[in-house]
Each structure stands twice: as C-alpha cells, then as structure tokens.
Homo-oligomer: A and B are copies of this chain.
Amino acid sequence: MIRLSIIGSGNVAQHLVQAFSKSTEIELVQVFARKPETVSHLVPNQKIISDFSELKAVDLTIISVTDNAIASVSNQLVFENHLVAHTSGSISIDALDSKNRKGVFYPLQTFSKSKEIDFRTIPICIEAQQDADFQLLVNVAKAISNSVNSVGSNQRKALHVAAVFVSNFTNHMYQIGSEICKANSLPFDILKPLIQETANKILTLPPTEAQTGPAKRNDTQTINTHLNFLTDENQKEIYKMLTKSIIDNGKKL
C-alpha cells in the first residue's frame, strides 16, 4: 500500500482524489484544501486539512496547485527528504524546493469539474531525480492509469505546448463553429458527428493524410466564397492564417 497525500482542490486535484480513492493499491492519507468544502464531497472530513503544519510525511506528496504557487507551496512543507511531485505540464521539476526529493506526475488530459473521466486511459508523464522515486511514481501511476510514460522536463514542456494546439485551440475551433451555427439558426448538434469523426480519423491515419477541405485542395474559389461569407473580422483572420498554413504545409510534403 502506497501512502500519499494531495495538496490542492482544483480540477486536476479533484480528479486525482477521485481516482486514488478508488484504487486498492493507494492509501489517500490527507487532502490539503484552503476551502475544505471544495473536496468534502470526495473524502472524509478528518482527512481534509487546511494548515500546512498538520501535513504528515508520506511516501508521496502531490502538489496540484496553479503553476505560480508550486514553488512556494513546496517551500512551506514542514517535512524533509520525502518525495514531493507536482502535476504541471509547463513547470520544471527544479521549481520544487530542494529540502525534499523531487518528482513530476503530469496527467495529460483536459479536466472539467462537471465532467467525469476514465483515468485509466489518461497518459501519466513521470519524472524523478532518483531511480527509486521514479519507480514509486510509476507504481502510483499504474494504480490509476494504463498509460505511464517517462517524460523529461523539456519534453513535458513540448507536450504541454502540443496539448494547447490539439485541445485548447481545437475547442476554440468548436466554439467558432457553434457561433457560426447560432448566427445562422442552425443547431450546433449538426456538427457533432463531423467533430467526432475528425477526432476518430487520426486514430488510424496520420493528420497529414486525414486532412481534407478547400485549403488542402488549394480550392481558391471556395476559400474566397468562405471569406466573403464571414463578417466577423477575427474569424476571417483565423480562416486566412490557417488556410495559408495548410496550403504551405502541403507544399512541404
């Protein structure tokens, strides 16, 4: 049984609390939350603390707070020489205070409070400075996920940037699609099978092969029809830039 505690009560922290609570290989010892009510529906009250002095030294302390707070939280821990890991995609392992042994436990996924998620499919990206710590993080990750990956700090930064493109920016494309539907009295639902298939396609085809549409065909007539149709200047600029990028990409192949 691995004993671990979680510091934080945001989206990632809450999903981790839920996942670890279900695992038979993990004992969730404490959850640190400034506002205990944010996690009181997930763990028994006696496990919730909001004072750093109450935090016990355990096998692994996971700091799952906003990027800016990681360094100062790691600095406020009252114990030393224990394994402490953060969950951020963009923060180096070095940001953690050196009085404890350092690690990273980064789940590569988009979390919304209101949406449940199957943790077993989520890639966990692991980093540590000592072999035994790395192995412990692997065991913790395996307890909740089928996809455990060794990813260094620089690779993790790359992955985080890539994640912004494939998830945050993609969702913004959905947002623009829904705005265009709304402005033309069309239900957004009509686009959903297309959205699903676009995501499914790249499970079997590389994105360059999956690419379709007027930009891919360099179909300037349709592109101009679309640009004339769009009245929102921001949408028009995004359309132009991404069309040019797809056309330029085609030339490189």
Interface, chain A (partner B; CB < 8 A): 11, 67-68, 90, 108-112, 114-115, 117, 121-123, 125, 147, 149, 151, 154-155, 157-178, 180-181, 183-186, 188, 190-216, 219, 221-222, 225-226, 229-230, 234-235, 237-239, 241-242, 245-246, 248-249
Determine whether the beta carbon of B192 is less than 8 Å from that of A202: yes
What are 14 A-B interface contacts by the 8 Å CB criterion? A67-B219, A108-B190, A123-B194, A157-B229, A159-B181, A159-B190, A163-B191, A164-B215, A167-B198, A172-B249, A174-B202, A174-B207, A195-B199, A196-B199
Determine whether the beta carbon of B238 is less than 8 Å from that of A242: yes
4 more A-B contacts (CB under 8 A) besides A166-B194, A172-B246? A112-B209, A114-B209, A170-B170, A172-B242
Determine whether the beta carbon of A194 is less than 8 Å from that of B158: no
Closest 8 CB pairs of A and B: A168-B213, A199-B199, A158-B184, A175-B207, A166-B177, A162-B180, A162-B177, A174-B207
Cα-based distance from A220 to B162 in the complex (angstroms): 17
From residue A164, how far is it (CB to closest CB) to chain B in Å? 6
Select the residue from A163, A170, A206 with max chain B CB neighbours within 10 A: A170
Closest chain B residue to A90 by CB distance? B222
Closest chain B residue to A161 by CB distance? B226
Determine whether the beta carbon of A67 is less than 8 Å from that of B149: no
Residues of B within 8 A of A192 (CB): 202-203
Known: A158-B180, A219-B67. A164 touches B122 (CB 8 A): no
Closest chain B residue to A149 by CB distance? B190
Residues of B within 8 A of A184 (CB): 154-155, 158-159
Select the residue from A123, A188, A221, A242 with max chain B CB neighbours within 10 A: A242
Cα-based distance from A221 to B160 in the complex (angstroms): 14
Which of B155, B169, B196, B221 is within 8 Å of A186, CB to CB? B155
Which of B114, B151, B170, B173 is within 8 Å of A195, CB to CB? B170
